[in-house]
Amino acid sequence: MFKLNRWRPKGRGRTAQTGRERDGLNPRFMRVASMNEVPPGTGKLVTMMGREIGLFNVGGRIEAIDNTCPHNQRPIGTDGLTGGTVTCFWHNMTFDLESGACTEAPHFRITKYPVRVRKQEIYVSPDAQI
Ligand code: FES
């Protein structure tokens, strides 16, 4: 029987790790800001692949959400950050930044994005978590 893998050169099929992968970053994570641009208790809007992303520093933990409110598709903004929640100023719905759920109507959920912080740089993956 003819075995295909017999003809495969040694080491083939493995891909070399990039520096980003060695740092625990999927190649799809993109640098969007530095930690000093988002001090604790503040938010910042960034654009990633044409999407507006809200970054929030909640006690040193960075949360990334889509800047589109699930209630009426309007921008949430960053001014409504209070503790671990953000309030959309259009109709005052409040969203928990950790779970993404609206505190008044849990069926409304903001779209969250995976975040990694490496060497004081913030990386976000465009693969949304719902
Ligand atoms: S559009 Fe955000 S609460 Fe209505």
**Best of 90, 102, 109, 110 to mutate for ligand 1, by most ligand atoms within 8 A of CB?**
90
pLDDT at 13: 52
Is residue 62 within 8 Å of 122, Cβ to Cβ? yes
* Cα-to-centroid distance, 94 and ligand 1 (Å): 9
With cut-offs at 50, 70 and 90, classify the pLDDT of residue 10: low
* Cα-to-centroid distance, 108 and ligand 1 (Å): 10
pLDDT at 101: 96
With cut-offs at 50, 70 and 90, classify the pLDDT of residue 127: confident
Is residue 52 within 8 Å of 75, Cβ to Cβ? yes
Residue closest via CA to ligand 1's atom 3 equals 91
Is residue 72 within 8 Å of 89, Cβ to Cβ? no
Average pLDDT, the chain: 87
* Cα-to-centroid distance, 103 and ligand 1 (Å): 13
pLDDT at 33: 97
Q: Is the whole-model pTM more than 0.75?
A: yes
For residue 103 and ligand 1, the question of a CB distance below 6 A is answered with no
In whole angstroms, give the CA distance from residue 119 to residue 99. Answer: 26
- Eight-class DSSP state of 11: T
Of 12, 48, 57, which is closest to residue 28 (Cα–Cα)?
Answer: 48
pLDDT at 31: 95
Q: Which domains does the chain have, with CATH numbers?
A: 20-124 (2.102.10.10)
Structure tokens at 62: 């960075």
For residue 90 and ligand 1, the question of a CB distance below 6 A is answered with yes
Structure tokens at 117: 């912080």
pLDDT at 42: 97
Is residue 109 within 8 Å of 101, Cβ to Cβ? yes
Helix segments in the chain, DSSP class H:
19-22
**What percent of the chain is predicted at pLDDT more than 90?**
75
- 75-103 pLDDT, tens digit per residue, is 999 999 999 999 999 999 999 999 999 99
Say yes or no to pLDDT of 24 above 60: yes
